[in-house]
Structure 1
Amino acid sequence: MLLLLQVKGRVTAQALAEEFEISIRTVYRDIDQLSAAGIPVYADRGPGGGFALLDGYRTRLTGITRAEAETLSIAGLSGAASDLGLMDQLRAAQLKLIAAVPDAAQDASRIGSRLHIDAVGWYRRPAPTPLLPVLASAVWEQKRITMHYESWQNSGHRTRDPLGLVLKAGDWYVLARVRRQMRIYKVASITHLTVLDETFEHPASFDLRAEWSAAVAAFEKGLLTGVATLRLSPEGVARLHRLGAAAEEQALFGPIAKDGWQDVTLPVEGFDYAVEQLLSLAGHVQVLEPLELRERLRTLAQRVATLNAA
Structure 2
Amino acid sequence: MRASRLLSILTTLQAKGRVTAQALADECEVSLRTIYRDVDALSAAGIPVYSERGNTGGYRLLDGYRTRLNGLSSAEAEALFLAGLTRQTADLGLSGVAATARTKLLAAMPAEVRAGADRMRSRFHLDAPAWFGEGESLDHLPTVADAVWRERPLRIRYRSWTGERDRRVEPLGIVLKGGAWYLVGQVEASVRTYRISRILSLEVLDERFARPDPFDLEVHWTESVQRLDAELHPHKATVRLSPRGIRMMDSILPAYVRARAVIDAPDADGWRTATMPAATPEHAVVELLRFGTEIEILGPLELRVHMVATVGRLAETYRELEGRPVSTPLTS
Calculate the TM-score normalised by the size of structure 1: 0.87
Matching of residue 218 in structure 1 with residue 231 in structure 2:
no
Paired residue type of 1:298: V
Q: Which moved more, 1:220-229 or 1:134-143?
A: 220-229
Query: Does the residue aligned with 1:212 lie in a helix, a strand or coil?
Result: helix
- Contact 1:287/1:293 (<8 A) preserved: no
Counterpart position of 2:254:
244
Counterpart position of 1:292:
305
How far is 1:47 from its partner? Answer: 4.9
CA deviations on 1:117-144 (whole Å, 9 max, x unpaired) are 1112222233221111111111122221
Counterpart position of 1:96:
104
How far is 1:173 from its partner? Answer: 1.3
How far is 1:303 from its partner? Answer: 4.1
- Contact 1:275/1:296 (<8 A) preserved: no
Alignment map for 1:19-58 (pairs within 5 Å): 19-58=27-66
Matching of residue 83 in structure 1 with residue 83 in structure 2:
no
Matching of residue 6 in structure 1 with residue 14 in structure 2:
yes
Query: Does the residue aligned with 2:117 lie in a helix, a strand or coil?
Result: coil
Instruction: Rate the CA distance shift 1:108–1:274 in 2: closer, same or farther, 3 A.
Output: closer
Q: Which moved more, 1:35-44 or 1:194-203?
A: 35-44
Instruction: Rate the CA distance shift 1:87–1:257 in 2: closer, same or farther, 3 A.
Output: same
CA deviations on 1:100-125 (whole Å, 9 max, x unpaired) are 22323344321022101111222223
- Contact 1:72/1:94 (<8 A) preserved: no
Alignment map for 1:238-277 (pairs within 5 Å): 238-241=247-250, 242-254=252-264, 256-277=266-287
CA deviations on 1:13-45 (whole Å, 9 max, x unpaired) are 443344334454544443444344333333344
Counterpart position of 2:209:
200
- Contact 1:288/1:294 (<8 A) preserved: no
Query: Does the residue aligned with 1:214 lie in a helix, a strand or coil?
Result: helix
Paired residue type of 1:79: R
Calculate the TM-score normalised by the size of structure 2: 0.81
Structure 2 unpaired stretches of 5+: 1-8, 323-329
Counterpart position of 2:243:
234
Instruction: Rate the CA distance shift 1:281–1:301 in 2: closer, same or farther, 3 A.
Output: farther
> Higher helix proportion, which one?
2
User: 2:176 aligned to 160, 167, 170, which one?
Assistant: 167
| Superposed CA RMSD | 2.7
- Contact 1:232/1:285 (<8 A) preserved: yes
Return the alpha-carbon distance in structure 2 between the equivalents of residues 193 and 308 of structure 1.
53
Identity across the alignment (%): 41
Instruction: Rate the CA distance shift 1:308–1:173 in 2: closer, same or farther, 3 A.
Output: farther
- Contact 2:75/2:116 (<8 A) preserved: no
Paired residue type of 1:5: L
Matching of residue 71 in structure 1 with residue 84 in structure 2:
no
Return the alpha-carbon distance in structure 2 between the equivalents of residues 213 and 74 of structure 1.
23
Paired residue type of 1:96: K
Paired residue type of 1:249: A
- Contact 1:126/1:171 (<8 A) preserved: no
Counterpart position of 2:119:
110
Return the alpha-carbon distance in structure 1 between the equivalents of residues 263 and 116 of structure 2.
52
Paired residue type of 2:256: A
Counterpart position of 1:181:
190
- Contact 1:229/1:263 (<8 A) preserved: yes
How far is 1:222 from its partner? Answer: 1.0
Return the alpha-carbon distance in structure 2 between the equivalents of residues 83 and 225 of structure 1.
36
Query: Does the residue aligned with 2:124 lie in a helix, a strand or coil?
Result: coil
CA deviations on 1:234-267 (whole Å, 9 max, x unpaired) are 2233333424333333334455443333443433
Return the alpha-carbon distance in structure 1 between the equivalents of residues 71 and 277 of structure 2.
53
Return the alpha-carbon distance in structure 2 between the equivalents of residues 93 and 298 of structure 1.
57
- Contact 1:243/1:268 (<8 A) preserved: no
- Contact 2:167/2:187 (<8 A) preserved: no
Matching of residue 282 in structure 1 with residue 298 in structure 2:
no
Matching of residue 123 in structure 1 with residue 132 in structure 2:
yes
Paired residue type of 1:140: W
How far is 1:156 from its partner? Answer: 0.4
